[in-house]
Chain A
Amino acid sequence: MDRGVLMAPAGSPPAGGFSAAMAGLEAFSDAEVMVRVKAGDQSAFDYLVQKYRRPLVGFMYRMARNAAAAEDLAQEVFLRVYRARETYEPSAKFATWLYRIATNLAVNHARDTRHERAEVTVSLDEPDEETGTTFELPDGGLTAEQALVRRERLLAIRGKVEALPERQRLAVIMHKYQQMGYKQIAEVLKLSESATKSLLFRAYETLREQLKEFI
């Protein structure tokens, strides 16, 4: 069996781009690539990891509000995909299946940690709890006050998206940040397409209303 890039011995170049073995897989649909994973092709699995690692970490980051937890959850999604490879049936779009796994994990994580969440605060001296980044010194023409306003706006956006009801939040994150269409979101959330449209419209209306002061 081809051990692939992720299974390469220590000291080899890190997985961050497509190897020659993976390059040929671009011609196949993700479901077809997953069928190859099922047949034991490790490089096919590496291809899917490379393709979805960034969007999945982004999705988990916006759901978990914590970069470390987001990476851990995204890894768990890939592990679950790997464990389920032998029972995989290409009946649905691969991305839909992947995001369904990710959604279940993210929702469970959010429920498990809802009491642990600290109040969102802004401090100039301490690093941000969620991102681990420190307050940026003004550069690029931004004054300290402008940078602080920008940061407050960012925290407000995050806070308002997070305050949405669970399904609306999931729908907005998938639609706005994962660029997923109504049909696919509907399949992930197991809703009808019209219900998804209505869900998204309500969510954006709420966000528009609550973020009015920043527009």
Chain B
Amino acid sequence: MTCDEVRDKMPDVAAGLIAATGEESKHLASCDACAGKLAEFRQTMALLDEWQAPEPSPYFDVCLQARLREEMAKPQAGWLQWFRRPVLAAALTVLMGVGIGLFFNHGRGRYNSGPNQAMADNFGPVEPGTAVSDLQALEKNHELYADFELLDDLQVQDDVTANP
């Protein structure tokens, strides 16, 4: 047995966690350096024993009890808890953005091919005076209504210059 092998176990032997084996004892008996080192380690350990930690105070259990009660009273993590995780919240935002983008692109494609026609194809002829027919009228006369808005704006500007 070598000095290094004995010194590896020296802290455990000096602390009393394990006893030296037969071979280690033989080595210690024949090696003054290792025996001296072990004796010094034992003295150091005895000195370290003087540093005692206090017992938990009587308040320890009371405080822990109160903190545990508080912990138990907290509401269980629901689906809203999801939003408290920044990475997941960011992922959800991106997904929602992508979803909205796809929805509008898809919608635009449909309108480009003629929404009224699509509606008529899907739902048959539209009766006048219904919300659907009003929407169709708005769609057909979009340019005309835009001109009306322009005229309204001009009217306002005239009023402003007339009454500064």
Which of A6, A157, A215 makes the CB contact (< 8 A) with B64? A6
Asked if B45 lies at the interface with its beta carbon under 8 angstroms from chain A, I say: yes
Asked if A88 lies at the interface with its beta carbon under 8 angstroms from chain B, I say: no
Q: Are A71 and B60 in contact (CB under 8 A)?
A: yes
Q: State how many angstroms separate the Cβ of B8 from the closest Cβ of chain A.
A: 5
Q: Are B43 and A215 in contact (CB under 8 A)?
A: yes
Asked if A200 lies at the interface with its beta carbon under 8 angstroms from chain B, I say: yes
| CB within 8 Å of A: which B23-74 residues | 40-41, 43-45, 47-48, 50-51, 53-65, 67-69, 71-72
Q: Are A54 and B56 in contact (CB under 8 A)?
A: yes
Contacts of B43 in A (CB 8 A): 208, 215
Asked if A124 lies at the interface with its beta carbon under 8 angstroms from chain B, I say: no
Tally chain B residues at the interface, Cβ within 8 Å.
Answer: 35
| CB within 8 Å of B: which A147-188 residues | 150, 153-154, 157-158, 161, 172, 175-177, 179, 181-182
Which of B51, B55, B69 makes the CB contact (< 8 A) with A54? B55
Contacts of B12 in A (CB 8 A): 175, 181-182
Q: Are A157 and B65 in contact (CB under 8 A)?
A: no
The complex places the Cα of A214 from the Cα of B68 at a distance, in Å, of 44
Contacts of A214 in B (CB 8 A): 47
Whether A71 touches B56, Cβ cut-off 8 Å, given contacts A15-B65, A179-B17, is yes
The complex places the Cα of A57 from the Cα of B59 at a distance, in Å, of 13
Contact residue range for chain A?
35 or more
Q: Are B40 and A208 in contact (CB under 8 A)?
A: yes
The complex places the Cα of A207 from the Cα of B44 at a distance, in Å, of 7
Q: Are B40 and A6 in contact (CB under 8 A)?
A: no
The complex places the Cα of A127 from the Cα of B163 at a distance, in Å, of 85
Asked if A53 lies at the interface with its beta carbon under 8 angstroms from chain B, I say: yes
Q: Are A58 and B53 in contact (CB under 8 A)?
A: yes
Q: Are A161 and B48 in contact (CB under 8 A)?
A: yes
The complex places the Cα of A200 from the Cα of B9 at a distance, in Å, of 10
Asked if A137 lies at the interface with its beta carbon under 8 angstroms from chain B, I say: no
Asked if A97 lies at the interface with its beta carbon under 8 angstroms from chain B, I say: no
Q: State how many angstroms separate the Cβ of A73 from the closest Cβ of chain B.
A: 11
- Residues of A participating in the B interface, judged by any CB pair closer than 8 Å: 6-7, 14-16, 49, 53-54, 57-59, 61-62, 67, 70-72, 74-75, 78-79, 82-83, 131, 150, 153-154, 157-158, 161, 172, 175-177, 179, 181-182, 197, 200-201, 204, 207-208, 211, 214-215
